[in-house]
């Protein structure tokens, strides 16, 4: 994961701390992790790439309640490259109950 022999520097939003991703990143020797409150995104890699991570359930819920559009607009307006990553398998999408 290193860039030209240097560890990759990743800011992790403090609201993501309970998840498995920050713990997995912290175990890597080729990544330096700093937990902070990010105003946009869940992760900021090398101060250049913002990542908004969504599970299937969160993607569906944020699409329905409108958060997804606000988050996408904030990512696009940030002075970084942006990425929206949705994590799910087909079963997770099928299990999501539609809301009225």
The model's pLDDT over 62-73, given as tens digits with 9 standing for 90+, comes to 999 999 999 999
Is there a domain that residue 87 lies in?
A: yes
Is there a domain that residue 3 lies in?
A: no
Is there a domain that residue 64 lies in?
A: yes
Q: Report, as an integer, the average pLDDT of 47-62.
A: 88
Query: How far is 100 from 91, CA to CA, in rounded Å?
Result: 21
Number of structural domains found in the chain: 1
Residue 6 has pLDDT above 90, yes or no: no
Is there a domain that residue 100 lies in?
A: no
Residue 35 has pLDDT above 90, yes or no: yes
Pairing of strands 8-13, 31-36: parallel
Q: Which domain holds residue 47?
A: 8-95
Q: What is the CATH number of the domain that holds 64?
A: 3.40.50.10130
Per residue in 72-81, pLDDT (tens digit) is 999 889 888 8
What is the structure's pLDDT at 95? Answer: 53
Q: pTM value?
A: 0.75
Query: How far is 60 from 24, CA to CA, in rounded Å?
Result: 25
């Amino acid at each position: 994961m290193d860039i030209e022999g240097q560890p990759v520097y990743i800011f992790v939003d403090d609201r993501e701390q309970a998840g498995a991703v920050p713990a997995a990143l912290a175990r890597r020797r080729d990544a330096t992790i700093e937990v902070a409150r990010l105003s946009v995104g869940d992760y900021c890699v090398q101060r250049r790439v913002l990542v908004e991570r969504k599970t299937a359930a969160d993607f569906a819920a944020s699409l329905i309640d409108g958060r997804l559009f606000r988050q996408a607009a904030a990512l696009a307006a940030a002075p970084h490259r942006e990425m929206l990553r949705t994590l799910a398998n087909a079963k997770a999408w099928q299990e999501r109950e539609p809301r009225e």
